[in-house]
Amino acid sequence: MKYRLYGEKEHSFLLFSQVVKAISEKKDYDKQELAQLVKLCFAMNRSTQRTQSQLDSLLQELPMTAFAAPEVAPASQPPAGRRGSLNKSLLSDTPPASTQRRSNLQDLFLVGLIDGDGCFSVSFLANKRILLGFHITGALTKSQLRLFFRVKRRFDQCGSITRKRGTSSKSYCRYQVDSFRDIKKCIVPFMDQHTLYTEKAIHYAKFKKVVDLIERKAHLNRSGFLEIVEIAYDMNQAGKRRKLTKEEYLQKYCSFDPKL
């Protein structure tokens, strides 16, 4: 492969390469070898919720009941500290030694990572405070943490790396930048120099427009604030994941304020 991969993408690609090589050598014609290939496939993309029982069921369907089902290797996870944070040794300002030795993260890879796993967000509080955010989410594994340390280093140590818990009680890690100053200083210049290729390019354009409006203090007057609300609710699936609809938010928090 011409370009370097990092983190979980590197792990998945290495397994993928082994599968391709085995198939090209027709090893999948042998039941025992095929069982091992199935195991490799299940070990890819560790952020998915594949289980041992699913693997057992698949092997029975193939059929391979004569062979013992290989166990799925669990994703390597660092020890967790208190909720919302990772082990202090993993989240210190000094990245692991291996990260320091291989800290040059290719910008094209980072752009692809943002296109696939990144998010630009604009949130609102009850007091009409506007919160901007940028984050990249990945599986809670050591390789993904090493990648996020490289991302943080690429962005001049801006942002933080945290542990999150999903709706299915499965933990994941996230690199995030919430400071307006850091977003303006590190994220916006990088994104302006590179091109996104998915729908995320549209979301970034709207996100940057909000950044520009806030920098001009437009959010402090009625028309500017309402413009930001309109833009924000048109991002990320048209605000489907928000607790309040646009109309509910405006009616609840904005209608009776004479300044707005």
Burial of 84 (C-beta count, 10 Å sphere; 0-12/13-18/19+): exposed
Sequence-distant (6+) residues with CB within 8 A of 229 are 124, 246, 249, 250
What is the per-residue pLDDT across 171-198, written as a single tens digit (0 to 9) for each? 889 999 999 999 999 999 999 999 999 9
Assessment of whether the complete model's pTM goes beyond 0.75: no
List pLDDT tens digits, range 14-56.
Answer: 888 888 887 887 776 777 777 777 777 777 766 566 677 777 7
* Phi-psi group of 128: left, alpha or beta (phi > 0 → left; psi -120 to 50 → alpha; rest → beta): left
| Tokens coding 96 | 């692991």
3-state secondary structure at position 155: coil
DSSP code for 164: E
Cβ neighbours for 72, distance < 8 A, ≥ 6 positions apart: 39, 42, 43, 50, 51, 52, 55
Crossing angle, helix 142-154 and helix 107-117, to 10 degrees? Answer: 120
> What was the pLDDT predicted at 68?
46
Collapsed DSSP state (helix, strand, coil) of residue 152: helix
Q: Could you tell me which of 125, 142, 141 has the C-alpha nearest to residue 249?
A: 125
Q: Which residues of the chain have pLDDT under 70?
A: 1-4, 6-7, 28, 45-50, 58-59, 61-104, 166-169, 237-241, 255-260
39 touches 72 (CB < 8 A) = yes
